[in-house]
Amino acid sequence: MNLILTLIAFPFVVGAGLLWLRPDGLRKILVAGALLVVVGLSVALALVPAPLDLQNLPVGGHAISLGMLAVEILISLYLFYVGVRARHALIVLLVLAQAGLMTWFEFGPGAHAAGSQYLFVDQFSVIMALINGLVGGGICLYALGYMREYHEQAHREVPDRRPLFFALLFVFMGAMFGLVFANNLTWLLLFWEITTVCSFLLIGYTQTEEAKRNALRALVMNLSGGLAFALAIVWLQRQTGGVELQAMLHSPDKALVLLPAALLCFAGITKSAQLPFSSWLLGAMVAPTPVSALLHSSTMVKAGVYLVLRMAPVVTGTKVGLLVALVGAVTFVVGSFAAITCSDAKRVLAWSTVANLGLIVLCGGIGTAEAVWAGVLLIIFHAVAKCLLFLCVGVIEHKQHSRDIESMAGLIVSMPRVAVMMQIGMAGMFLAPFGMLISKWAVLKAVVDASPVLSVFVVFGSSATLFFWVKWMGKLVQVVAPPPRVPHELDLGESIALHGLAAATWLACLLFPLISTHLILPYVAGVYGAIGGPLSQGNITIMIIMMALVMLFPVTFLNRGRGVRVTDAYLGGANVRGSTHFRSTADSVQDVAIGNYYLSAILNEAWLARWGVISSAVLLAAMLLLPLL
C-alpha cells in the first residue's frame, strides 16, 4: 500500500523540489537519484507478490478527496485563466462545463459512498507502472544532457526554463502512476487532468507562436475528453450509485454501464490522439524531443489506451465496442498511409504512434480476451521501441541539425551507434519475429475471430507500415559518399538511456513469452476467466527460432566479406570519382543523389487526414449516441 502511495507521491515531491532548484549540477544529481528511486520502486512493485492490501489509506479517504477537489479547482482556475488570456472561448466553455459538473457532483448526494476503495493494483497497472517508471525514467535521464545541448547550442533563442521543464516531467510521471493505480474515478479524473495540464505546458515550452497554438489545440482536445470523463462519472453515479472502476467493470448489468463506458472510451480516444483528435499529437512535435518521447511512448497517449483497454470487457460484443474498434481501425489505416507521405522523421514517428495506438484501440473495442492480450503486448513493445526511436531522432537532430529522413543517409557510417540502435527500435516496431509483429499477429487472429470484416483494415494498414519503416531503414544503411564520422555521438545520460532502451527492446522481444505468462495472461485471466495463450506453444517456439536466426545477422559482419572485390556502383558506365559522381550532359559532373519515394502521386497527407477525421467523427458520434437509444 505504502509502496503505491510513495510511487505516486514521490515524483510530485521531486517535481516541486526541481522547480526551485536552479544549479545544473545539483539538478543532475537530484534527477538521477530520484529516477533510481522511481525505477527501484516500480520494479519492487512488480516483484512484490500481489494482492496488496489497498483498503487502508493512511489518511481518511474523504480528506484526501477534499484535497484533491481543491487541486482540481486550482487546475480549473488556471485553465480558465489560460482560456481567457488566449481569448479561446471553447477552452473557457469546456473548463466551466467540467468544473460545474464536478462541483455539482461533489456536493450532490451519494458522492462519497462508504467503504469505497480508492486505489487498486493488478497486473495491468503493474505493467503500466513499469513502463512509466523505466521508459519515463530513461527519458528524464536523456533530457538532462539533451536540454543542456538544446539551450546552450541548438536553440539559444529559446528562454531557458529548465527547472520548470524537469518539474513538469516528474509531475507528469507522478500523475501517470496515480492514473494507473486509481480505482475511484474522481481520483482518476484528477490525474487525468494533471496530465492534460502538464502536456499543455510542455508542448508550449518554447513559447513560439506555433508552440502556443499547438499547445492550445492539445488543451482543447484533451479538455473535451475530460468533459466526457466527468459526464461518465456523473452518469455512473446516478445509475449505479458508485464511482469505482472495478465495480463498474464487474457490474452485472452491462447495459447500465455502457454509456459511461462509451464516454470513457471517448476520453481515452481523445487522449490517445485517435482520429479525429490526432492533430494535437502531430502538433506536439514543436516541443523538445524528450517531451515528444514522453507523450508518445510512456505517458499521455498510453493513459488513453489504458482506459480503453480497461473498458474492453464492458464494450466487448456491443455496437459501442464495434464502433470503438472501427475508430481505431480507421486511425490505423490513415496513420500508416499518412506516415508514407512524410519525410520529417518526427512526423513519421508521430503518425506511426497514432497508427499503433489505433491498433490498440481496435483491440480494446473488440474486447475479447485475445484482443486484450494483444493490446497489452502492443503497449509494452510500442512504449520501449518508440521511445528509443524518438530519443535517437533527437540525438540526430542535434548533431546534423536536421530531422529530415533524407538527411539520414549513411548514418551507419557517421553515427554508427545511434544508427544501430535505431535499427533495433525499428525492428521492434515492425520486423517479423520482433515485438510489434507478435502483437500484430495476435491482433489479426483476434480480429478474424471476432469480426473478420475488420481484418481488412489491419491488412492494409500493416502493409503500409512495412513500406515506410523499410524505406527508412534502407536510408540508414545506404552509403553513397561516406559522410565523416560524428565525433561525440552521445553524452553519458543519453548513452545510458539509449543503451538501456535498446537493451529493453531487445529483451522484451526475447522474453515476451515470460512477460506474457507472468503479467499479461494473469491479468486477462483475472478479467475473462482462464484462457490459453493466444499463440500456441509450437508457434512461439518457431518465433524464437526465427528470432535467434535474425539475431545471428550481426555475426556475419565478423567475416568482413572475404573473397569479394569492391568496385563502383553501376552508373551507366559514366562514373567519375567512384560511385559518387557521374558525367552528365555537356560534360558536366553531377552528384549521385538518391531520394526515397513518398508516393505523392497517389497519397496525400492532408486528404487522408481530412477524410480520416470526417469518417472517425461520424463513427464517434454514433458511438456516443447508440447507448442513449
Partner 1 sequence: MNPLVQVLIYLVAAPLVGGLLAGWDRRISARMQARQGPPILQPFHDVLKLLQKENIVVHRSQNFYILFFLVLVIFTGGLFFAGADLLLVIFALTLAAIFFVLGAYKASSPYSFIGAERELIQMMAYEPMVLLTAIGMYMVSKSFSVSEIASHPTLLVVTLPGVFLGFLYTLEIKFRKSPFDLSCSHHAHQELVRGITTEFSGRTLAMIEIAHWYENVFLLGWIYLFFGSMPWLGVTVALLVFVFLILVDNVFARLKWEAMLKSAWVVTLVLGFGNILALALFSPSPAAPVAKAAPATLHAPAVVTPVPPPAAEPARRT
Partner 2 sequence: MSRFAKSPWIIHYDASSCNGCDIEVLACLTPGFDVERLGVVNTGNPKHADLFLVTGAVNEQCRDVICNIYHQMAEPKVVIAVGICAASGGIFRECYNISGGVDSVIPVDVYVPGCAARPEAIIDGVVQALGVLEKKQKEMAALASNLDRTQYLHADKKDAPEILGLQKTAYQRESAAYGDDCLPALKQTLPEIEAEFDHPAAPAAAEPPVAPPPAPGRTVFLKAVVSGKIIGSVRGYAVGDTTYLSRLIVHPYFQGRGIGRRLLEELEKDFPEVRRFEACAGQKSERSLAQLQKLGFQEFKTGPGPVPITWVYLQKERQ
196 binds, among partner 1, partner 2, none (CB under 5 to 8 A by kind): none
x/- mask, partner 2, residues 508-547, rule CB under 8 A, reads ----------------------------------------
Choice between 151 and 440, CB closer to partner 1 = 440
Distance CA 209, CA 204 (A): 9
Member of 152, 210, 568, 591 binding partner 2 (CB under 8 A): 568
Choice between 17 and 578, CB closer to partner 2 = 578
Distance CA 185, CA 200 (A): 22
Question: Shortest gap between Cβ of 562 and partner 1 (angstroms)?
Answer: 9
Size of the site for partner 1 (CB under 8 A): 86
Ranges within 592-611 binding partner 1 (CB under 8 A):
592, 594, 596-597, 599, 601-602
Interaction of residue 535 with partner 1, rule CB under 8 A: yes
Choice between 303 and 443, CB closer to partner 1 = 443
The per-residue b/e assignment along 322-356, b for 16 or more CB within 10 angstroms, e otherwise, is bbbbbbbbbbbbbbbbbbbbbbbbbbbbbbbbbbb
Member of 158, 479, 510, 618 binding partner 1 (CB under 8 A): 479
Member of 47, 59, 564, 606 binding partner 2 (CB under 8 A): 564
The per-residue b/e assignment along 272-306, b for 16 or more CB within 10 angstroms, e otherwise, is bbbbbbbbbbbbbbbbbbbbbbbbbbbbbbbbbbb
Distance CA 121, CA 131 (A): 15
Member of 38, 201, 464, 490 binding partner 1 (CB under 8 A): 464
Question: Shortest gap between Cβ of 585 and partner 2 (angstroms)?
Answer: 11
Choice between 223 and 340, CB closer to partner 1 = 340
Neighbours of 53 (CB within 10 A): 6
Ranges within 610-629 binding partner 1 (CB under 8 A):
none
Interaction of residue 563 with partner 2, rule CB under 8 A: yes
Distance CA 173, CA 289 (A): 16
- Cross-sheet strand order for the sheet of 589-591: 575-576, 581-583, 589-591
Question: Residues 388, 352: contact at Cβ < 8 Å?
Answer: no
Choice between 254 and 499, CB closer to partner 1 = 254
Distances (CA, A) of 498 to 137, 418, 424, 448, 502: 12, 8, 11, 37, 6
Neighbours of 567 (CB within 10 A): 9
Q: Please provide residue 515's backbone torsions phi and psi, each rounded to the nearest 5 degrees.
A: -55, -40
Choice between 110 and 482, CB closer to partner 2 = 482
Amino acid letter, 525: A
Choice between 103 and 580, CB closer to partner 2 = 580
**Contact range with partner 2 by CB under 8 A, out of 200-208, 247-255, 454-462, 566-574:** 566-574
x/- mask, partner 2, residues 349-378, rule CB under 8 A, reads ------------------------------
Member of 56, 556, 559, 567 binding partner 2 (CB under 8 A): 567
Helix (H, G, I), strand (E, B) or coil at 582: strand
Choice between 45 and 608, CB closer to partner 1 = 608
Choice between 75 and 464, CB closer to partner 1 = 464
**Contact range with partner 1 by CB under 8 A, out of 205-213, 275-283, 392-400, 475-483:** 475-483
Amino acid letter, 344: D
Interaction of residue 566 with partner 1, rule CB under 8 A: yes
Strands 575-576 and 581-583 come out as: antiparallel
Interaction of residue 557 with partner 2, rule CB under 8 A: no
Interaction of residue 22 with partner 2, rule CB under 8 A: no
Beta-bridge partner residues of 581: 576, 591
Interaction of residue 549 with partner 1, rule CB under 8 A: yes
Question: Shortest gap between Cβ of 573 and partner 2 (angstroms)?
Answer: 4
Distance CA 446, CA 460 (A): 16
Interaction of residue 17 with partner 1, rule CB under 8 A: no
Ranges within 216-235 binding partner 1 (CB under 8 A):
none
Q: Using alpha carbons only, what angle is made at residue 430 by residues 428 and 434, rounded to the nearest 5 degrees?
A: 45
Write the CB contacts of 26 (distance below 8 Å, at least 6 apart in sequence).
none
Interaction of residue 441 with partner 1, rule CB under 8 A: yes
First-to-final CA distance of the chain: 42
Ranges within 569-588 binding partner 1 (CB under 8 A):
569-572, 579
Q: Which residues bind partner 2 (CB under 8 A)?
A: 562-568, 570-578, 583
